[in-house]
Amino acid sequence: MIKKAKPLPFLVKNLIAIGIIVLLGFAFLFLAARWLETTEHQYAEERFNDVSTRYVLRVTGDVKRFIDDVEQLATFFSLSEKVTRFEFEHFAKSNLIKHRGIQAFEYVQFVKHEDLESFLETAREQYPDFSLTEKTSDGSLIPLQLNRQVYYPILYAYPYQENDEVIGYDPYRAEARQEALERAIRTNSTTVTSRMELHQHPGKSAALVFAPAYRYAKETNQVNIIGVSEGVFVLEDLISETSSELARFGLSLTINDVTDGGNTLLLEHHSRGQSQVDTDNAFTIDRKFELGGRVWNLTITGNVEEFYLPLSNARYSLMLLVMLLTIFLFYFMYLVFVLYRNNKVLLESKGELRKNISELESSRNQLVYQANHDFLTDLENRFALDKFLNELISQGGGAKHIACLLDIDKFNLVNDSFGHEAGNFVLKQFAKIIHTNIGAKDHAYRLSADEFLIVFDQANLESAFKVIHNILMTVHDTVFDWTEMHISIDASAGMATIGSDTLGPSEVLSELASARTIAKEKGGNRIHVFDKSDPESIHFHQQVLWVNRINKALDEDRFALRTQTIKDLNGDGDLKEVLVVMLDEHGGMIPPIEFIPAAERFNIMPQVDNWVVNRVLEYLEANSQASDYLWCINLSGVSLNSEEFRESLVEQISENQELAQYMVFEITETAAINNYELVKEFIDSLNRFGCKFALDDFGSGMSSYGYLRNIPVDFIKVDGSFIKQILENDYDQTIVKSICEISVQLGIKTIAEFVENEQVLNKIKEMGFDYGQGYHIDKPKLI
């Protein structure tokens, strides 16, 4: 009989799992150890690079600061008519204290043979035994043979006690000195010698720095060399201040001169008394830098172990701890897996789940409501309106709906006079009046601060008009009591029909805005119904559409400038009038007559005029030939009424004062008379920068004669209606003649517009006009 095998007990199964987990843990630990070792090595290398780089910067900085001092000494001689021994030693002493490795400062005088006697006489005033010397091959000093064209004697040296024997020494024939000295004079730059040994410091590496000094000679109008400042430094002494930093990390430093591919050892320093570093277990960094035409290479070497973290030797203990934690973690994961496999994970209760779903549904509904309603008035908002209008228009059919846009007249005065809390109170009461008067199926919306919109459901225009009329009357008759204040308001309304031919929400809102604005312009507290067959509504609606086009063109920089010559009839100098055009999306030009009326009506003209002024200033700055003309720029009366525009224009001109003299601002006669004091103050504010002014369309109102004497303009542009008929109309001739005579008395230049033929040109010359403008003279051209 065959016995069935018994299943392995649970403990055996767990032991197998634990064994697998332990093996995985050791594999993980091995990888972790390798990662830890690599990370430590990278950190040590980064630390070494950081320490070495800082040390290199410090050493090179010390050398460069010393070179700067040598150059300053040369500058001192260049700028001084005469430098005495006392002045030199005072300068050298103050700089020598700063540098431990600096041995001496010297000054080598450049002496021509013909000036030698006077030089020796001057030098012996400070050094009685002064004489020129040179060195023999064994280093002893002998008198210099005076058979050269130029001599380079050392005139000053500090410290004097250690360097008194070099006074008068001419180092020109010393090979290393000669090469660096000649290079300094030839290249007019600071130079450094190759390695030298000083008899005061045998066995140590020294280098000399030469910086040429020049002085301007008035007699020849030339800059001549007068001498060379010289500095002497010893590398071993230079790094002595920083040797403790090398010793701290056990670093070795080697400096080699590698100029022109050479490799001359200048300095080798091993800290902690070691003779060398084990390069197989060391970090190395090389840095080259240029000093006065020579290239030095600094090599720093350090043992790897010096840069490990102090606690890194405990990494194996850390690895053991990680191993134990890994085993525990994997075993814990195994138990979780067993529990999950045996369906011991707790299930959420169905009641709790239903409760959560209900709360989520309630929160969603609340968010939807808030997204579609105005928080202040609890009316629906613009988002809800757009959605409703899209649905309404997409349904089509023959049904018509009536929409009305309401706006509180001068609502900003409520906020300014009573405060924003009072304004919010009025808005709430206004919304309640709307809600009280409309039907249950009608929709009311708040679009912005004081804009409200109603869509009537299946109402005709007459019944909807009555509802809006009742709302306006109720608002007019109601006194809103806010604390102890009594607030009265009015409102204006624009109505339009939503029908099967309506293209979209934007069309509805545009028609409503047009009707509402017409109602406001007619005095407010009234209703205007948009009628597509009414010329006033159509014209206004077209202007409303222009608003978006103009703003978009401003955003996209789709404007251009044209200029027309204003001819000087006396031959002194022409003017240029700047004319702005708008460009459509395809680059076609739109004349100003099409968009300027809308820009002025809806207060966009200040932005257009500001654009024009900016472009003219840019053009004047970029084109030097533009200064041959004065540039006439038209300013709209709407812009002149804008304080922000006036301040901006004054600021622009003050920042470009050198261009102000070429600018002439044209102001219409009507704008000048209607804003007399404002215009006069504005002209005065720009006259001080050199701007000029012209009075445009002059003569259209006879009252202008009385103002002309007090408005400081430079030019008068006679209204074109007089010039057109000047050949046939005696009355026009009389008016124009009187304008010219008055202008002459006031010292104002006159400009005739609309010069369309040669006969008119001859006539205005005969009448004494200073300038002429028109298509017969020049047609506008793009710039």
- pTM metric for this prediction: 0.44
pLDDT(484) > 90: no
CA 751 to each of CA 545, 627, 717: distance values in angstroms, whole numbers, following the listed order: 36, 20, 5
**How wide is the angle at C-alpha 78 spanned by C-alphas 72 and 84, nearest 5°?**
90
HSE value, Cβ hemisphere, 13 Å, CA-based, for 537? 17
**Confidence category of residue 276, pLDDT binned at 50, 70, 90:** low
What distance in Å separates the CA atoms of residue 665 and residue 714, rounded to the nearest whole number?
A: 10
For 428, residues 6+ apart whose C-beta sits below 8 A from its C-beta are 376, 377
Q: Are the C-beta atoms of residues 158 and 105 closer than 8 Å to each other? A: yes
Q: What is the pLDDT of residues 125-170, one digit of tens each?
A: 888 989 999 888 777 888 988 888 999 999 999 888 888 888 998 8
What distance in Å separates the CA atoms of residue 99 and residue 570, rounded to the nearest whole number?
A: 76
For 604, residues 6+ apart whose C-beta sits below 8 A from its C-beta are 547, 550, 551, 554, 598
What distance in Å separates the CA atoms of residue 679 and residue 669, rounded to the nearest whole number?
A: 11
CATH 3.20.20.70 at 556-782, yes or no:
no
pLDDT(537) > 70: no
Q: Are the C-beta atoms of residues 774 and 754 closer than 8 Å to each other? A: yes
pLDDT > 90: percent of the chain: 37
Assigned token pair, 773: 């403008």
What value does the mean pLDDT of the chain take? 84
CATH level 2 (architecture), domain 58-304: 2-Layer Sandwich (3.30)
Question: SS in 3 state form for 448-511?
Answer: CCCEEEEEECCCCHHHHHHHHHHHHHHHHHCEEEECCEEEECCEEEEEEEECCCCCCHHHHHHH
The pLDDT assigned to 3 comes to 45
Identify the CA nearest to 441 among candidates 494, 372, 392. Answer: 392
What distance in Å separates the CA atoms of residue 101 and residue 70, rounded to the nearest whole number?
A: 14
- Regarding predicted confidence, which is higher, 704 or 409? 409
Question: Do the strands 252-257 and 294-303 form a parallel or antiparallel pair, or are they unpaired?
Answer: antiparallel
Query: Which class for 354: exposed (0-12), middle (13-18), buried (19 or more C-beta within 10 A)?
Result: exposed
- State mean pLDDT over 306-333: 64
pLDDT(395) > 80: no
Q: Are the C-beta atoms of residues 575 and 634 closer than 8 Å to each other? A: no
- Regarding predicted confidence, which is higher, 768 or 300? 768
Q: Are the C-beta atoms of residues 676 and 704 closer than 8 Å to each other? A: no
**Confidence category of residue 379, pLDDT binned at 50, 70, 90:** very high
What distance in Å separates the CA atoms of residue 304 and residue 312, rounded to the nearest whole number?
A: 13
Identify the CA nearest to 386 among candidates 345, 338, 447. Answer: 447
- State mean pLDDT over 326-349: 62
Identify the CA nearest to 742 among candidates 698, 773, 696. Answer: 698
What distance in Å separates the CA atoms of residue 537 and residue 530, rounded to the nearest whole number?
A: 6
The pLDDT assigned to 278 comes to 62
- State mean pLDDT over 291-318: 72
Which H or E element spans position 519? helix 505-521
What distance in Å separates the CA atoms of residue 430 and residue 476, rounded to the nearest whole number?
A: 11
Which H or E element spans position 704? helix 704-708
Start-to-end C-alpha separation, the chain: 113
**Other C-beta atoms lying within 10 Å of the C-beta of residue 675:** 16
Treating both helix axes as pointing N-terminal to C-terminal, what angle do 676-687 and 643-655 enclose, rounded to 10 degrees? 10
The β-bridge partners of 109 are: 227
Query: Where does the chain hold its CATH 3.20.20.450 domain(s)?
Result: 556-782
Q: How big is the chain, counted in residues? A: 783
Per DSSP, 717 falls in state E
What distance in Å separates the CA atoms of residue 777 and residue 769, rounded to the nearest whole number?
A: 14
**Other C-beta atoms lying within 10 Å of the C-beta of residue 359:** 10
pLDDT(627) > 60: yes
What distance in Å separates the CA atoms of residue 602 and residue 591, rounded to the nearest whole number?
A: 18
What distance in Å separates the CA atoms of residue 66 and residue 36, rounded to the nearest whole number?
A: 45
Query: Where does the chain hold its CATH 3.30.70.270 domain(s)?
Result: 398-532
CATH level 2 (architecture), domain 398-532: 2-Layer Sandwich (3.30)
pLDDT(249) > 80: no
**Confidence category of residue 770, pLDDT binned at 50, 70, 90:** very high
What distance in Å separates the CA atoms of residue 251 and residue 271, rounded to the nearest whole number?
A: 6
Q: Are the C-beta atoms of residues 178 and 250 closer than 8 Å to each other? A: no
HSE value, Cβ hemisphere, 13 Å, CA-based, for 632? 25
pLDDT > 70: percent of the chain: 86
Q: What is the pLDDT of residues 436-450, one digit of tens each?
A: 999 999 999 999 889
Identify the CA nearest to 486 among candidates 426, 408, 407. Answer: 426
* Burial 134-173, CB ≥16 within 10 A → b, else e: bbeeeeeeeebeeeeeebbbbbbbbeeeebeebbbbbbbe
Identify the CA nearest to 249 among candidates 101, 70, 44. Answer: 44
Q: What is the pLDDT of residues 113-124, one digit of tens each?
A: 998 999 999 889
The pLDDT assigned to 659 comes to 95
pLDDT(4) > 50: no
